[in-house]
Amino acid sequence: MAKKYTVLETWIVNEMKPEESNSAEQTYERMQQQAAGKLPVIDVEQNFREEDHFCDEARVRDFAAHLAGAETVLDIGPGDGWPLLRIAPFFKSATGIDPSQKRIDTCQANADKLTITNVTLKKMSATEMDFEDNTFGAVAAAGSIEQCPDPYLALREVFRVLKPGGKFRVEFEAYDKQEKGITERLFLTETEESLGYHYVLRHQQPPWERNYLVKFKVDPETRDAFKKLADLTSRLGSIPTQNPELGLQFLEANQTAIIGSSWYELEHFTSATMKQTLEEVGFVNVRIAWSAATLARTMWPRIKESGLSDEQTKDMLRGLAEIAVKLDAPAGLGEPVVAVKPSEGFKG
């Protein structure tokens, strides 16, 4: 199927001749913080009177319940520390790998701040892990596999380093609910070397994402242009097609300040394609299993005024996660997947 190109994308490709890059270099090395610095426990104090904090705890308990019984866990792409730093207390040791040195440094700083001492961090690609076969009792991934240049190779590496009988729980930015056709957005970044204009395109079927970065020199005039652009996006939204002053008009007006451009493409998953891919890799007992966070969100309206203490809330969510482990979810809703590496001597 031929891929469609927007007017803005065509301009970037033809005028800027972007170099091929990857998500670690182009996006995550440029971000000051993930989740806007609002990760419960890691960035801000946990507050169960907020729905997002309630559901975040449910996600943590979901990983812990699915991977229970393992002593060692590997988190693929923890970024600033999620879920690695939140699930580390449930294991004897926890290891996190990320291809972005900035994210590794931030995650280590967060571990030190939280006095978490059983965590090891390594700058490493999931497609080429420097671990022996059968190293970890469990593996977790939250929105990271699809960020790899080759997701299939990354999943093969997960299979390799997982011990026989070990479990893999994977969340992903599911495209089950992605809007039909192409959607777009822009966001801005800043480093010491450049101001960044990021243009992102997503397509539902087949599920893919293209990311472009146009880099601008850092000077007072360009900073002022970016400040005005940020103000516009806060008022008008982040869709250039709907607001030309956010897209082509901005780039053309400031073209003399452009100093470079890059791009990368990602393959995305639905619950069904993730399940199928894991089975192809060699996993068994592959299931689309309800996330405890999904169930928690449905409960929130009845829980928020319950007056439960923090410990009572945690106990309730622990129990909810233990129930969720047993519940299969239908395909098409974007729920996470859990899989098992066959034990030695397994015959399918």
The reported pLDDT for the residue numbered 345 is 55
The answer to whether residues 139 and 283 belong to one domain is yes
Q: Is 97 part of any domain? A: yes
The answer to whether residues 239 and 313 belong to one domain is no
Q: Is 17 part of any domain? A: yes
Q: How far apart are CA 130 and CA 213, in angstroms?
A: 30
The reported pLDDT for the residue numbered 178 is 57
The answer to whether residues 64 and 139 belong to one domain is yes
The answer to whether residues 115 and 135 belong to one domain is yes
Q: What is the pLDDT of residues 232-275, one digit of tens each?
A: 999 999 999 889 999 999 999 999 999 999 999 998 899 999 99
The reported pLDDT for the residue numbered 180 is 66
Domain that residue 298 falls in: 35-174+269-340
The answer to whether residues 45 and 115 belong to one domain is yes
Contacts of 220 (CB under 8 A, 6+ apart): none
The answer to whether residues 215 and 278 belong to one domain is no
Residue 348 has pLDDT above 60, yes or no: no
Structural contact between residues 240 and 184, judged by C-beta atoms closer than 8 angstroms: yes
CATH number reported for the structural domain that contains residue 158 in this entry: 3.40.50.150
The reported pLDDT for the residue numbered 290 is 98
The answer to whether residues 168 and 283 belong to one domain is yes
Q: How far apart are CA 95 and CA 138, in angstroms?
A: 10
Q: Which helix (H) or strand (E) holds 104?
A: helix 101-113
The reported pLDDT for the residue numbered 74 is 98
Query: 223 exposed, middle or buried (CB, 10 Å; 0-12, 13-18, 19+)?
Result: middle
- The model carries a pTM of 0.91
Q: How far apart are CA 187 and CA 312, in angstroms?
A: 39
Residue 47 has pLDDT above 80, yes or no: yes
The reported pLDDT for the residue numbered 33 is 84
Q: How high is the mean pLDDT of the chain?
A: 94
Q: Is 347 part of any domain? A: no
Asked which of 226, 244, 267 is the last residue of a domain, the reply is: 267
Number of domains in the chain: 2
Confidence of residue 1 (pLDDT cuts 50, 70, 90): very low
Of the listed ranges 57-66, 83-92, 197-206, the one predicted with least confidence = 197-206
Residue 80 has pLDDT above 90, yes or no: yes
Helix runs in 170-219, H state only: none
* pLDDT > 70: percent of the chain: 96
Confidence of residue 186 (pLDDT cuts 50, 70, 90): very high
- DSSP class of residue 146 equals G
The reported pLDDT for the residue numbered 3 is 59
Q: How far apart are CA 32 and CA 98, in angstroms?
A: 16
Q: What is the pLDDT of residues 280-293, one digit of tens each?
A: 999 999 999 999 99
Q: Is 322 part of any domain? A: yes
Residue 334 has pLDDT above 80, yes or no: yes
Q: Is 346 part of any domain? A: no
> 171 has which bridge partners?
142
Q: How far apart are CA 263 and CA 304, in angstroms?
A: 43
The answer to whether residues 62 and 117 belong to one domain is yes
Asked which of 247, 267, 287 is the last residue of a domain, the reply is: 267
The answer to whether residues 70 and 169 belong to one domain is yes
Q: Is 157 part of any domain? A: yes
Residue identified by tokens 């469609």 is 4
The answer to whether residues 47 and 159 belong to one domain is yes
The reported pLDDT for the residue numbered 176 is 66
The answer to whether residues 228 and 165 belong to one domain is no
Asked which of 267, 298, 321 is the last residue of a domain, the reply is: 267
Q: What is the pLDDT of residues 104-133, one digit of tens each?
A: 999 999 999 999 999 999 999 999 999 999
Nearest to 289 by CA among 340, 321, 323, 329: 329
Q: Is 345 part of any domain? A: no
The answer to whether residues 277 and 256 belong to one domain is no
Q: Is 243 part of any domain? A: yes
Query: 248 exposed, middle or buried (CB, 10 Å; 0-12, 13-18, 19+)?
Result: middle
Q: What is the pLDDT of residues 128-150, one digit of tens each?
A: 999 999 999 999 999 999 999 99
Confidence of residue 325 (pLDDT cuts 50, 70, 90): very high
